[in-house]
Amino acid sequence: MKADVIQQVLIITSESFPYGMAGTNRIISLSKGFIDNNIDTRVLSIYKYGEPDEKVRFPVKGVYEGIKYLNILSSGKWDHSRIIRVLKRNLKEILVFHYCLRQLHRGTFVLYYSPWMMPAIMVKIVTLLKGLVFIKEETEHPHVRIRDKGRLYKYLYLNFYYKIFDGLFVITHKLNEYFREELCYKKMLLIVPMVVDTDSFNPQIDINKKQIVFSGELDVQKEGIDILLSAFSKVLKKYPDYKLDLYGKPVDHSQECHINALISDLNIGHNVILHGYKTRDELIRILLEADILIFTRPPSLQATYGFSTKLGEYLATGKPVVTTRVGEIEMYLTDELNAFICESEIDAVADKILKITENYDFGLKVGSEGRMCVMKHFNNKLEAKKIIDHVRLTFQ
């Protein structure tokens, strides 16, 4: 297997592309990092397109910010025939195999960003035939991926799935430790932390909007939305003209009802606005124009082993960021030096927001240091170069 000359990177993902959430943004940042290092980069999406009333219609193919992409299951419009939709979903492995057989050539490095096993097996066959490097990117603890699966699936996933790859990229030191010590993974492991496309975040000093922004899934368990809303209600007692803008969707109907009920019970409906989903370009502008950005994720398996792309993008704006103390955040951030760090508790979050509002110049100073942290530790260009150099060295 030779990787001394890497001419192209193909990222295969079950994330939507080019519009999506954190996973999509990570792929965009990595892809642009590869391109800036003079590596042609393509994305093949095998995302399961959902409902006929989806507001965003995903194009079949195109170029997004220099990244060539193909959505292999999309026709650009909703397939009204359920038979066609079912066939597409069940034939995705064959479609992926056929694409890779035709398109992969010597000099291509394949990066797999998906928990799906069968498409990965198809890609593995092609990479074996053509002598190519096939790496899995893992940003979550495996048990987060498979918690709703059956016993047999979980066994195969943990004991065989990861072995089909030539190596793994993991997002945190904790994940690296898990794979080495608990799964006894013997192949290449490389820590590729959260990455940000820093060129897209040019700081703007546009203040006095009295606007606090959260973006992401509106999920009480994962994101601590209940903590955020309750903390904000305390802030309003002192600063009643502040607004909390929530960008994202509730994960399900029950969560939506719970969040709306909490807003009503706290009597903060006039100050909390639920904006729904925004495109990447829209959201970047929104983050840059916010006064304060907030991250209230509580401790969990996901928070301990992962690292939020959203947090990195918050920091890249140069605005003050309030974040809870979870996972490996304190490996990179220091309270009141480059972020405002607190426990995932209502009073603690409220106190940090109030500290910023009472001395916003200090908040901006801390925010500026946060951006410097991103440039140093989460820079997509530097991480992409590290990946290419490591793959070349490992598989030459």
Spell out the domains of the chain, with CATH numbers in brackets.
Answer: 8-195+379-395 (3.40.50.2000), 199-377 (3.40.50.2000)
- Global model pTM greater than 0.85: yes
d(CA 264, CA 266) in angstroms, rounded, equals: 5
Q: What share of the chain is helix, strand, coil (3-state, %, to 5)?
A: 45, 20, 35
* Phi, psi torsion values for 337, nearest 5 degrees: -105, -50
Task: Give the largest CA-CA distance in the chain.
Answer: 66
| Residue 14 and residue 48 in contact, taking contact as beta carbons nearer than 8 Å | yes
Is the N-terminal amide bond of 298 cis, ω within 30° of 0? no
Q: What confidence tier does 73 reach under pLDDT thresholds 50, 70, 90?
A: confident
- 47-56, 207-216, 352-361: segment of lowest average pLDDT: 47-56
Please give the mean pLDDT across all residues of the chain. 90
pLDDT at residue 215 tops 80 = yes
Confidence of residue 49 (pLDDT cuts 50, 70, 90): low
The residues, any chain, with a CB within 8 Å of residue 316's CB and separated by 6 or more, are 196, 198, 201, 371, 374, 378
Judge contact between 213 and 292, C-beta under 8 A: yes
The better pLDDT of the pair 60, 273 is held by: 273
Locate tokens 């603890």: which residue?
141
Q: What is the pLDDT of residues 323-366, one digit of tens each?
A: 999 999 999 999 999 999 999 999 999 999 999 999 999 999 99
What pLDDT score was predicted for residue 117? 93
Is 292's pLDDT higher than 90?
Answer: yes
